[in-house]
């Protein structure tokens, strides 16, 4: 299987890494990631009422989207995350344990499609929006959904990946399921381009941590900013080879 994609624009955020130059300068050593950092400030086009409802993860997601598209651009979108707003959901569970009342607004923003719902409101986007949990297929699940939308004849689609650290309450050993810090990537994609090629290749065995979302996100961002021309990312049943085509 082979798919071709073009990337019109992209943006990524991690602690201390807000611009393309930041990513180019970073050595991709997660131990060098700052432990003390500030979250992005929501842009002015986000209504004040909604600004107060943005979780830390939502603020990061909106930041990369704002770097990728303009407020007047609307298009189909795919939001892909392995654990989504798991910290919000965990906080609600703690409130239940303490016999505290749950906030309806807090509950509505703890579900997997909460951030996508806010996006549709802020950008007045009435196009198709798909929200998926990537599970063992890693990043490729998001790209497959985006490709499906592009194949329906639309010109562009927004693809957003996002993750935050999993609360220590959840057992994740012996696998490393997250990078230990929040992370988001937004891409504005188009079809009919050989800028980026995705090729599926069968593999015999998969190590679980290799297909986890945030781990793959870092590898893929490094692939985007570096001179690296190909990368292999594992999925549940096959691995996916990415090839970058550099224009002469």
The pLDDT tens digits for 145-195 are 999 999 999 999 999 999 887 756 556 655 555 667 889 999 999 987 777
163, 13 Cβ separation under 8 angstroms: no
Candidates 140, 148, 126, 129; CA nearest to 61 is 129
pLDDT tens, position by position, 59-69: 999 999 999 99
Does residue 216 surpass a pLDDT of 90? no
Q: Is the pTM value of this prediction over 0.95? A: no
Residue 230 φ then ψ, to 5°: -155, 160
Q: What is the DSSP string of 113-159?
A: THHHHHHHHHTT--S-EEEEE-GGGTTHHHHHHHHHHHTTT-SEEEE
Cβ atoms 201, 191 nearer than 8 A: no
Per-residue pLDDT, 226: 86
Looking at residues 136-144, what average pLDDT do you find?
Answer: 82
The DSSP 8-state label assigned to residue 16 in this structure reads T
- Quote the pLDDT of residue 146: 93
Of the pLDDT bands very low, low, confident and very high (cuts 50, 70, 90), residue 209 is very low
> Tokens 């689609």 appear where?
157
Q: Say whether pLDDT at 100 is over 60.
A: yes
Comparing 41 with 180, which gets the higher pLDDT?
41
CA distance 85 to 184: 13
Q: Which helix (H) or strand (E) holds 234?
A: strand 230-234
pLDDT tens-digit series, residues 68-94: 999 889 999 999 987 777 766 666 666
User: pLDDT averaged over the chain?
Assistant: 80
What is 9-192's CATH topology? Peroxisomal Thiolase; Chain A, domain 1 (3.40.47)
Instruction: Please tell me the distance from the alpha carbon of residue 69 to that of residue 59, in angstroms, as a whole number.
Output: 15
Domain ranges for the chain, please list them. 9-192
| Cβ partners under 8 Å of residue 180, min gap 6 | 30, 33, 165
DSSP 43-109: PTTS-HHHHTT--HHHHHHHHHHHHHS-TT----EEEEESS-SHHHHHHHHHHHHTTPPPPHHHHHT
**End-to-end Cα, the chain, rounded Å:** 26
Q: d(Cα 159, Cα 68) in Å, to the nearest integer?
A: 10
Q: In which band, very low, low, confident or very high, does the pLDDT at 214 lie, cut at 50, 70 and 90?
A: low
Predicted confidence (pLDDT) at residue 208 exceeds the cutoff of 60: no
The pLDDT value recorded for residue 173 is 58
Query: What value does the mean pLDDT take over residues 135-143?
Result: 79
Least confident of 112-116, 161-165, 181-185, 202-206: 202-206
Yes or no: say if 166 and 176 are a contact pair by the CB < 8 Å rule: no
Cβ-Cβ contacts under 8 Å for 9 (sequence gap 6 or more): 67, 68, 69, 187, 188
């Amino acid at each position: 299987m082979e798919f071709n994609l073009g990337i019109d624009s992209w943006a990524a955020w991690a602690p201390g890494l807000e611009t393309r130059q930041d990513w180019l300068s970073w050595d991709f050593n997660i131990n060098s990631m700052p432990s003390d950092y500030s979250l992005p400030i929501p842009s002015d086009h986000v209504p004040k009422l909604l600004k107060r409802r943005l979780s830390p993860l939502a603020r990061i997601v909106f930041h990369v989207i704002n770097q990728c598209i303009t407020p007047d651009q609307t298009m189909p979108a795919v939001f892909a995350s392995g654990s989504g707003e798991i910290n919000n959901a965990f906080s609600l569970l703690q409130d239940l344990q303490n016999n505290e009342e749950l906030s309806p607004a807090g509950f509505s923003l703890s579900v997997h499609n909460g951030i996508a719902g806010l996006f549709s409101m802020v950008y007045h986007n009435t196009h198709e929006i798909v929200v998926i949990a990537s599970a063992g297929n890693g990043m490729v699940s998001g790209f497959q959904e985006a490709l499906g939308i592009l194949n329906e004849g639309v010109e562009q689609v927004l693809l957003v990946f996002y993750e935050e650290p999993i609360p220590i309450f959840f057992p994740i050993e012996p696998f490393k399921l997250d990078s230990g810090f929040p992370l988001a990537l937004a891409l504005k994609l188009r079809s009919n381009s050989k800028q980026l090629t995705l090729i599926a290749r069968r593999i015999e065995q998969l190590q679980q941590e290799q297909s986890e979302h945030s781990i793959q996100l870092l590898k893929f961002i490094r692939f985007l900013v570096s001179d690296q021309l190909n990368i292999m990312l594992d999925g549940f049943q096959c691995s996916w080879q990415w090839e970058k085509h550099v224009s002469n």
